[in-house]
Amino acid sequence: MRYSIAAGLLATSGAAAFSDSSPFLMYSTSSKFSPPAAPPQLQSTASVLATAQSLLSSCPTSLYLIYTHPNVHASDVRNPNTGACNEHNLCAPRRYNNATKDWESITAVYGVSEVVGPEISAGELQSYIEDVCAKEGQQGATVVLTHLDPLPPSSTENDDRSWAMTFESRLIAQMVDNRKQLLVNGGDDDEYTVIYFAGAHVPQYQAEFNDAAGAGAEVQMELRKRAWEVRADADKGAGKPASSAPLFVKYQFFTPGIFMGFLGAIIMISMLYVGLSAVASLQVSYGAFDKEMGPAAQKKNS
């Protein structure tokens, strides 16, 4: 049996209305799950949690899959202007019925496009489900909490954001398809509840430079600064004073090439000086070149 993933937002979602709002989606395959027919699409966190806790108070299923997706908006699921589905894995919950050999829609869906207020705590929601299921006598209820990767920031080109949304929704689909392996204490894997919301907000990175040239220069300066800080920390850790740093670390302008050139020149000048000094030290008497002092003159004198 295979189930498609769901998270049913209404077609009239307007996520662009509030930049600090996020959707809340919950659906269940249990007949005990009876959500309101047309809930307001703009609600506070307290109102949404009150409704969700009321729906979960009877512990309708034996498996609960909770997903937090930071930085998600309703417009990531449906187009806020046309209501068209942006991500088919998250638009309408369905499941395959083995009896009829056909796909059927899951109508027990509770979805709110705009949730404004404090962030919903996934841990507190998980604890609430475990407590109510224990009170209802379902000690074997399984609650699986999954934190999805945050979506990248919105921009004029949303290819990265759309790709990330598709990737995470497929991850949810795989977990639901393999939900039988998630049941810790057994139970009916046909009865499950899925809860999807933004969770804790993750700050989005904003570039501080405007052109590639400025970006390259800034990155290089930052790398040099970090390299020097790392070397300084290493010296401190080794107990060495700052003045004992290597020569080429303290003086970047005195490069190894220039140093080797000076060293080679000193060696060559020293060798030349020794050679010239040796030649200059040779002393020959002037009499050695006089004819009267030669062997013939000595023989004649004898």
Residue spans of alpha helices (H) in the chain: 45-56, 122-135, 159-177, 212-237, 247-250, 256-280, 295-301
pLDDT at position 7: 41
pLDDT at position 125: 94
Residue that wins the pLDDT comparison between 94 and 125: 125
264-283: average pLDDT: 90
Q: Does 101 have pLDDT greater than 60? A: yes
Q: At 249, is the pLDDT very low, low, confident or very high (cuts 50, 70, 90)?
A: low
Q: Which of 60, 78, 62, 142 is nearest to 114 (CA)?
A: 78
189-217: average pLDDT: 67
Beta bridge partners of 24: 112, 197
Q: Does 47 have pLDDT greater than 90? A: yes
pLDDT at position 126: 94
CA dist., res. 95 & res. 108, Å (int): 12
pLDDT at position 8: 45
Q: At 141, is the pLDDT very low, low, confident or very high (cuts 50, 70, 90)?
A: confident
φ and ψ at 264, to 5 degrees? -65, -40
CA dist., res. 179 & res. 241, Å (int): 60
Place of tokens 């899925």: 194
80-94: average pLDDT: 71
Q: Does 220 have pLDDT greater than 70? A: no
pTM listed for this prediction: 0.61
Q: Does 6 have pLDDT greater than 60? A: no
Q: Does 94 have pLDDT greater than 60? A: yes
Q: Does 245 have pLDDT greater than 90? A: no
